[in-house]
Structure 1
Amino acid sequence: MTALLCRALRGFIAACAALALWQAAHAGTATQTRYPIVLVHGLFGFDSALGVDYFYGIPDALRRDGAKVYVAQVSAANSTEVRGEQLLAQVKTILALSGAAKVNLIGHSHGGPTARYVAGVAPQLVASVTSVGGVNRGSRVADIMRGVAPAGSVSEAAANTAAKALVSLINVASGGTSLPQMPTAALDSLTTAGAARFNQRFGAGVPSSGCGSGAELVNGVRYYSWTGTRTATNLLDLSDAPLALLGLVFGEANDGLVSACSSRLGKSLGDYSQNHLDEVNQLLGLRDWFATDPVTLYREHATRLKGLGL
């Protein structure tokens, strides 16, 4: 009996040692995708402002587990095409610096269509496009602000003045002062009509109708999306109140700025208890503590892309 126990103990110790060796060998590689990940900010966004990342805590979390991550900086407010050309130039620079053949683009909000533009004009440079709360079929909020929908439309002059003031503040804080800004062009791109015009040229992955998934693989590029469907998620988050008010204009599931149906692109990876800012772990990580951590979603997706050889 004693000899049997000893053999069992030695076997257990050997198994533990093998597991430890396997974990050591694979530590820090869970998100190590074949191609670099490029994060693309949305309307009025930035890469980092006053030391705070737009994608709060997300680049570091991905890098810790092996991913090579770049954060793009495009115009805070401009048309999808202008932002797309800026992103394309940055992608080419990233490829030159990294030696990679392609990139994985992950865009939030207006960053979704911006990434889709690059995949549309240069699919050979893009392995995947992932849209997080992306404005892929327009936003009712943009419709209202541009006066093409009822319920509180504001004048173009007032909208432009307020938007330019916000953009100026973002530029000073983030170092993007050299980039051209045109808030009304940005809003035009994000209206339902503007998104429809864009989709006529760059419709890969966009569902033809309804609220389902679109094509996952188009022209060698894989398309994915996820979104939030709550507007108020944390009492301490000052952004929740305005997002909750904006969410009332939709009449369907939304994150405060984009409806769940409009956000669909390629294979839908789910709807979560997040609002539009929670989707990038803002403000400063305040969110629904009982729901999925936004950072976890990015890590899981990087692991998914790795598993696909991307």
Structure 2
Amino acid sequence: MLSGLTRRAEAVARRAVELEPMPQPPLRPTRYPVVLLHGFGALANLMQGGVLHAEAMHLRARGVWAYAPHVNPYDTVDVRAVSWADRLERVLDETGADRLNLVGFSTGGLDARALARDERWAGRFASLVTVSTPHRGSALAPFVLDRPERLRAWAIGVMEFVGRAAYESAPPHAEAALAELAPDVVVDRFPPDETVPDAWCASYAGRAGKGTDVPMYPPLVVPNRILHGLAGINDGIVPTDSGWWGERLGTLDADHARQIGLRWTASPAYDSLAFFEAHCDALRERGL
């Protein structure tokens, strides 16, 4: 008979050294490569590997051809689209695929919509799904641009400084990029009911902070409150109602930063890795 102390010691040892027969996660590849397009702003470049890198690597560990390239986030849609086109061509060349699944986060969704209008990309997108993309703009953009000259110049200067530091070969044009996000400008250029032929078009919107019970990433508290007064419930950057386009897939209880893995604490309330993995499951179920 084993003593109680011995049994407890064995249980502790088992937890420490016991091996699972198949410890690796199952491979669940999608039919087409998945490309994650980041949005406006470069502060997330402080993350190792850059914006959405961890999410792409998480998907790769599950057999998905996943990519998270970068372009200068402080430039206009037209300029970013040219850079994205170069990145997407490289994905097609490397994988031998003839179509792509795009996931556009924030303004990355607008960039993807701009690309889809180019006849060179006709029929090459199997899906275009956006996450907290300002399809109806964000009132924060004109709010910043309407500040007194000294404050506005300071804000634009910070954006361009970060943009130059992160993307030396692609000089930023932050003020022009910000002006493009004004609600009337976005709706005029990207009608909310315009979708992409022969592609699954869908969207997720986000919510957090004021007016919700979802905690807010501290650096986004002030813009969240400003935007709530201008446009209601939002995720700190994009109004929830602005995020809808195509099929509505659901509302994410996460602020704009947490949606791409930036968080103040290790709260399990929202997991960006699990979100993108679940999205790939949905693509797989659709044969994409």
Q: Normalising to structure 2: TM-score of the pair?
A: 0.81
Q: CA deviation at 1:190?
A: 0.7
* Equivalence for 1:57: 54
8 A contact 1:225–1:264 mirrored in 2: yes
User: Counterpart of 1:228 in 2: which secondary structure?
Assistant: strand
Q: Secondary structure at the match of 1:72?
A: coil
Out of 241, 244, 247, the position equivalent to 2:227 is 247
Report the Cα offset of residue 128 of structure 1. Answer: 1.0
- 1:261-293 CA-to-partner distances (Å, cap 9, x unmatched) read 111011111112211111112137x4753x342
Q: Identity across aligned pairs (percent)? A: 23
Checking the alignment, whether the CA contact within 8 Å between 2:206 and 2:252 is kept in structure 1 is yes
Q: Does 1:107 align with 2:104?
A: yes
Normalization by structure 1: what TM-score?
0.75
Question: 1: CA distance between counterparts of 2:184 and 2:114?
Answer: 17
The 3-state SS of whatever aligns with 1:239 is helix
Structure 1 partner of 2:161:
168
What secondary structure sits across from 1:53 in the alignment? coil
Q: Where does 1:1-310 land on structure 2 (aligned, <5 Å)?
A: 27-30=25-28, 32-45=29-42, 48-49=45-46, 51-55=48-52, 57-121=54-118, 122-147=121-146, 154-155=147-148, 158-172=151-165, 174=166, 176-200=167-191, 204-205=194-195, 218-231=196-209, 233-234=214-215, 237-283=217-263, 286=265, 289=268, 291-310=269-288
Rounded Cα–Cα distance in structure 2 between residues aligned with 1:145 and 1:134: 19
Preserved contact between residue 229 and residue 273 of structure 1 (Cα < 8 Å): yes
Q: Is the 8 A contact 2:206 2:251 kept in 1?
A: yes
- TM-superposed deviation, 1:297: 1.6
Distance of aligned partners of 1:72 and 1:159 in 2 relative to their CA distance in 1, 3 Å threshold: farther
Q: Could you say if the C-alpha distance between residues 27 and 275 of structure 1 is closer, same or farther in structure 2, counting changes exceeding 3 Å?
A: closer
Give the conservation status (yes or no) of the 8 Å contact 2:132–2:205: yes
Q: Secondary structure at the match of 2:171?
A: coil
Contact 1:79–1:188 under 8 Å retained in 2 = no
CA RMSD of aligned residues (A): 2.7
Letter in 1 for 2:171: P
Q: Deviations over 1:54-110 (max 9, x none)?
A: 226311221111111111211221221221121112211221122111111111111
Give distance in 2, aligned partners of 1:299 and 1:133. Answer: 17
Q: Secondary structure at the match of 1:130?
A: strand
What is the DSSP-based 3-state SS (H/G/I as helix, E as strand, rest coil) of the residue aligned with 2:30? coil
Q: For residues 125 and 241 of structure 1, what CA distance do their matches in structure 2 show?
A: 39
Query: Does the CA contact (< 8 Å) of 1:230 and 1:253 recur in 2?
Result: yes
Instruction: Kindly state the Cα deviation for residue 53 of structure 1 after the two structures are TM-superposed.
Output: 3.1
Aligned residues: 262
Gaps of 5+ in 2: 1-20
Quickly say closer, same or farther: Cα 1:81–1:302, change in 2 above 3 A: same
Contact 1:227–1:274 (CA under 8 A) maintained in structure 2: no
CA distance in structure 1 between the aligned counterparts of 2:27 and 2:47, rounded to whole angstroms? 30
For structure 1, list consecutive stretches of 5 or more residues without a partner in the other structure. 1-22, 148-153, 206-217
C-alpha contact (below 8 Å) 1:234/1:287 kept by paired residues = no
Go from structure 1 to structure 2 and tell me whether the alpha carbon gap of 1:57 and 1:115 turns closer, same or farther (over 3 Å shift): same
Moved more, 226-235 or 124-133: 226-235
- Distance in 2, matches of 1:156 and 1:108, equals 30
CA distance in 2, matches of 1:283, 1:56: 15
Separation (CA, whole Å) in 1 of partners of 2:256 and 2:188: 24
